Chains A and B, each alone.
Chain A
Amino acid sequence: MSTETIWLVTILGAPMAAALLLFLLHERGVRVAGWIAGLAATLSLAGVFLLLPALRRGDVPALSFQWIPAVNIRMSLHLDWLTFPFLVTEAVVTLLAVVYTWGYHRPDDRTSIFYALLMLFAVGMSGTTLADDMFLFYIFWELMLVASCALIAIWGEGDRRGEVALKYFIFTHLGSLMVLVGLLMLYDTTGSGSFSALRAGVTLAPGLVVTVTTFFIVGFCVKMAIFPLHLWLPDAHAVAPMPVTIMLAAAMLSMGTYGILRFPLSIFSPAQMAPFAVPMMIAGIVSEIYGALMALAEQDIKRIIAYSSVSQMGYILFGLGTLTYDGIAGATLHVIFHAIVKALLFMGVGLVVRATGRRRITELGGLGSAMPLVALCIGTGALAIAGMPPLCIFDSEWMIFAGGFHTAHISLSILTLFGSLLTVAYALWFVGRIFFGTRPEGLTIDRLPWAMVAPTVLLAALSLIEGILPAPLFDWVDQSLNLILGGNW
């Protein structure tokens, strides 16, 4: 077994082992649970970066062995350029969410289980991106759902957590089933579940291409929470405990994008995808505008940021729908940048809620002088999401719009551009209402644990640094697109 394989296994194995250990320790592990999870997440992240040189050399670290020979299903993992950006995002978000949890979660006798489920959630996400076989892909895809749903059902905020978890599960499972049907259709034609075999070329009847692509796009759009398939998102995000919300919004939503890139876009040719371009762009715009309007209308600060995800996923779908190099590259970059900024915003919201104990925006105000650091972080996040240069989202939005203007549908691109004004509106309104104005009577401010503040500050810094120096990320995304699009675009 080469070093590469060992690190590849570590990416999944470390969190999985940690989860197992925590389940076994249960009540005995309360005091060390956070450290175990943190160590596992660090190892996992280290594994991802240590495999980068191999990728640069042109290798594809992989591991594969026979699993169910009767139906030609293999247990295959591989890390290629398309996986890499998503895996990095997922691993970084997990580590930061775990650190944030150290401060957020008050230890009780179920703490170990909380961390164990967080780790399983992370395994689900990294497994989804690493899998090189449909069967394995779907197992991890659903693990992601099961783990996050359990976290919401057990640790959710408020009395409605059971119902919200049920809604989240059933709604997202509907999308999963569509993805499953799409996968099985492909599997049936190729006779093998391997993604590499798929990329080598699939010949499908034109009618079948449309069916398969529709299943995939609709299925993955449920995960991306595109209007009108977003109904699970605001509730799930608002009810989930904050670290889970961070992982849901920053990492899990991007799995939908990964799916669209991995399946329809890298398997079918641009000509085959062409009929889906305009529907995807329109769905993207509708989602963008709807999400922003709902964010403006919401009172609960967590739900405001949740709706902002619906809006941001709209940008991504629009970028994918342009079917141009710029648009898709922008969408992929947007996934990463959105993860940074959304994690930042949710962490900031978590800090405000922790400090004040309030979530309704009408009961907040004038916090800027009392919590300057938090105000600065949230302000950075809000400006970033509004697309202000030189913060990171500006770069990706620029590319998405550029992609839009390369298509024949200039009117749609102009609509997106103006739709982004609404984003500016809710972002500024959000910051203004919380941090400026007069402070309401009786609003007290508690001390904040460093473990919650540190990742927030780090992310705020990152969103500035990535905005100024996006070159390495551009390079990764460029490599991803070369891989999936080949020379066709």
Chain B
Amino acid sequence: MTGDVRVTLPLACLAAGAFAVYLLARLWADRNRLLALFTALVFATALGALGPLQFATGVDHLPAWGRFGPGAAFLGADPGALVMAGIALGLGLLVTVYSGRYLALDRRYETYYPLLLLLVTGLVGMVMAKDLFNLYMFCELMSAAAYVLVAFRRHTETAIEAGFKYLVMGSVGTVTILMGISFIYRETGQLALSHLAGAPGPWTRAGTACFLVGLGLKSAIVPLHTWLPDAHGRAPSSISAMLSGIIVQSAFYTLLKTCLGLGFPAHSLGTLLIVLSLFNMTLGNGLALVQTHTKRLLAYSTIAQMGYILLSVGVGLRYDLPAAIQAGFFLILAQAAMKGLAFLCKGVCHFYVDATTIDELRGTAARMPLVAVALSVALVGLAGVPPLAGFTGKWFILTNALRSSGALGYVGLVVFLLNSLLALGYYLPLIGTLFTPPSPPPMGGKEGGERIRISPWMALPIITLGGLVLAIGLYPDPWLGWTAGVGGYLLGLGR
């Protein structure tokens, strides 16, 4: 066993934490806050374990945990993996604190917290995996946890339906990936990505295509997005925050890493991504316009936001612009904060006033000013209005799309601009609804208008994320520094 053991530490923390939390939850079945605190501690420890890796990485010197010699690592902390894992752990930490109150609605803590930890374990393992077997295994772990969490509210039929749909489609995706792995193994007899680089044979190409489809499904690339609005719309809000905030994006990162690593030419992959991004943006925004349920609206907006990321990364790959890929990852970070914030705020409304449709959100500003302001910040940020995080991301994407000086880049740019205008059509009315006084209640209905005190367990993550949305927008420098290595790393894979 050679290599740097530190790479495995975050994973070990999370996995061990999952079991420990399960045991604790069986012991104290109704101590939600204690369990939430403990889970948060696990996330914090994992973040702490991830910390030293940030400084250990140079783009060409990756701490790796290898068994087959120095080149053949099966876990490695590449710059992109660190960004994705960092976001996932951070968001996981906030979501856990939030769940310390939010979960009082659903209870069943002994399933929720361990599954949340396993979800993130799978994610971290997947983005750090350096060989196809581990990649598949962690991907399945993540997906399995996600299926159950989507159907967590098992007393509602819609949640079961959404979970089942997600399960079926997700399984199709993972089976496709497995088939792809078998193709590749048949031809090369290798599974480590570092051994698979170089000129791909026909089977490897077929395998790569399978990865593109399988992981494309998990990253909600149109036309493989159909599971997303149901899954993200029906899951508990805290889980939707994770799903929309980072799970989809990390599947996309894995797609990039494997396809480029398997020898898919960066130029062609870039072209494909730009073309697909046009559909993602337009379809996501177009369908979000007609939604009546807040969470479904946010879910469709995730599809659109994935389109923005696809566009930016696609431009970077096609025109060999590391800065564009970096912009894409900057946007992933910004979006994790904004989408997470939006879903958490939505969850508060659900928790206190049982609001699910957009109309039911009327009067939120009067009753829960903090939530109304935070949700507005998130939505305005998603719409790309300065000085919030979404705008800064938009600025970088536009700069790079212009720099591409290519016809496809310009097409992407125009569609992107039109879409950011289209998106205002649903974000702004939603904000307007928050600040509209509630309509008079029906006969005998409860008078709604009194101020509601929000639990600090929910307020803290919301304030943190709101601050982050502002901070990323106003002072993007450190965050840019964090994502700086990704572009070069991915382009290096493709060469």
Contact = CB atoms under 8 A, between A and B. Distances in A.
A174 B380 contact: no
A68 B424 contact: no
Contacts of B424: 166, 169-170, 173
Contact of B395 (A135, A146, A166): A135
Interface stretch (B57-65, B135-143, B428-436): B428-436
B380 A71 contact: no
Given A142-B385, A153-B435, A185 B402 contact: yes
B174 to A, nearest CB: 38
A317 B391 CA distance: 30
Contacts of B387: 139, 143
A188 B432 contact: no
Contacts of A188: 399, 402-403
A174 B418 CA distance: 8
Interface string A150-178: 00011000000010011001100110010
B480 A154 contact: no
Contacts of B421: 170, 173-174, 177
B420 interface: yes
B396 interface: yes
Given A170-B424, A173-B424, A180 B398 contact: yes
Interface in A49-78: 67-71
Contact of B380 (A146, A154, A162, A170): A146
Interface string A236-253: 000000000000000000
Interface string B304-345: 000000000000000000000000000000000000000000
Contacts of A180: 395, 398
A170 B425 contact: yes
B320 to A, nearest CB: 16
A187 interface: yes
Given A184-B398, A184-B399, A184-B402, A68 B385 contact: no
A142 B399 contact: no
Interface residues of B, number: 28
Given A135-B395, A173-B421, A174-B421, A70 B385 contact: no
B345 to A, nearest CB: 18
A424 to B, nearest CB: 39
A177 B477 contact: no
Contact of B385 (A71, A135, A146): A146
Contacts, number: 68
Contacts of B391: 139, 142
Contacts of A173: 421, 424
A162 B429 contact: yes
B184 interface: no
A146 to B, nearest CB: 6
Contacts of A181: 398, 402, 413, 417
Contacts of B399: 71, 184, 187-188
A465 B481 CA distance: 56
Interface residues on A, range: 20 to 34
Contacts of B476: 68, 70
B386 interface: yes
Contacts of B385: 142, 146
A139 B386 contact: yes
B380 A70 contact: no
**Residue from A143, A165, A169 whose CB has the most chain B CB atoms within 10 Å:** A169
B480 A153 contact: no
Nearest to B323: A71
A138 interface: yes
B480 A142 contact: no
Interface string B399-432: 1001100000000010001001100110011001
B428 A169 contact: yes
A86 to B, nearest CB: 20
B63 to A, nearest CB: 25
B429 A70 contact: no
B484 interface: yes
A138 B420 CA distance: 16
A177 B436 CA distance: 28
A146 B431 CA distance: 12
A418 B425 CA distance: 41
A234 B378 CA distance: 30
A386 to B, nearest CB: 38
A158 to B, nearest CB: 14
A138 B386 contact: yes
A162 B432 CA distance: 7
B398 A68 contact: no
Contacts of A166: 424-425, 428-429, 432
B417 A70 contact: no
B373 to A, nearest CB: 9
A69 B476 CA distance: 10
Contacts of A143: 386-387
Nearest to B399: A184
A177 B420 contact: yes
Contacts of A162: 429, 432, 436
A112 to B, nearest CB: 13
**Residue from A68, A154, A166 whose CB has the most chain B CB atoms within 10 Å:** A68
A27 to B, nearest CB: 11
Contacts of B475: 67-68
Nearest to A166: B428
Contacts of A177: 417, 420-421
Nearest to B327: A71
A365 B417 CA distance: 49
Contacts of A154: 435
B420 A70 contact: no
Interface string B468-495: 0000000111001100100000000000
Contacts of A170: 421, 424-425, 428
A162 B278 CA distance: 30
A488 B242 CA distance: 59
A357 B429 CA distance: 30
Contacts of A185: 402
Contacts of B428: 165-166, 169-170
Contacts of B396: 71
**Residue from B380, B428, B429, B480 whose CB has the most chain A CB atoms within 10 Å:** B428
A143 B474 CA distance: 13
A119 B380 CA distance: 20
A141 to B, nearest CB: 8
A67 B474 CA distance: 9
A-B interface, 6 closest residue pairs, ranked by CB to CB distance from nearest = A139-B386, A70-B480, A142-B386, A139-B387, A162-B432, A68-B477
Given A166-B432, A184-B399, 17 more contacts: A67-B475, A68-B475, A68-B477, A70-B477, A70-B484, A71-B480, A138-B386, A146-B380, A162-B436, A165-B428, A166-B429, A180-B395, A181-B402, A184-B402, A185-B402, A187-B399, A188-B399
17 contacts: A139-B386, A142-B386, A143-B387, A146-B380, A146-B385, A153-B435, A162-B432, A165-B432, A166-B432, A170-B425, A177-B417, A177-B420, A180-B395, A181-B398, A181-B417, A184-B399, A187-B399
